[in-house]
Amino acid sequence: NKKAFVELLFWKSPAAVREMTEGYGSLQEAEGASRRRGPPWTPQEEQELRELYWKYKEVEGEDVIAAILARLPGPRRTRRQVVKQLVRL
């Protein structure tokens, strides 16, 4: 980049520096790869999630999501995936 010296005059974030050194657009490509989604929820998994939620939502002193994660069959899901799916349901 012939005009990189002009860009160096201003403060940059680490993301902007990476984009300058690796080429513009490389940051967006990396974001797409890092945002991998888990496998889609099947109707059976959604039903099991509903049942587990209703079973553990009233339990005192226990984290509902942790209880669901421990008992959820199928592929391993992250806490964020379970919460997001519960909100969607």
Classify residue 29: in a domain, yes or no: no
Classify residue 24: in a domain, yes or no: no
Q: What is the pLDDT of residue 39?
A: 84
Q: What is the pLDDT of residue 37?
A: 67
As a dihedral over the C-alpha atoms of residue 36, residue 38, residue 43, residue 44, rounded to 10 degrees, the angle is 180
Classify residue 61: in a domain, yes or no: yes
Classify residue 55: in a domain, yes or no: yes
- What's the structural domain count of the chain? 1
Residue 55 structural domain: 39-88
Q: Which of 66, 71, 86, 78 is nearest to 39 (CA)?
A: 78
Tens digit of each residue's pLDDT (9 = 90 or more) over 16-30: 777 777 777 766 655
Q: What is the pLDDT of residue 18?
A: 76
Would you say the C-alpha torsion 70, 72, 77, 81 has a positive or negative sign? Answer: negative
Mean pLDDT of 57-65: 85
* Residue 20: strand, helix, or coil: helix
Is the pLDDT at 51 greater than 60? The verdict is: yes
pTM for the whole thing?
0.57
CA dist 52 → 2, 48, 58, 67, 80 (Å): 59, 6, 11, 8, 16
Classify residue 34: in a domain, yes or no: no
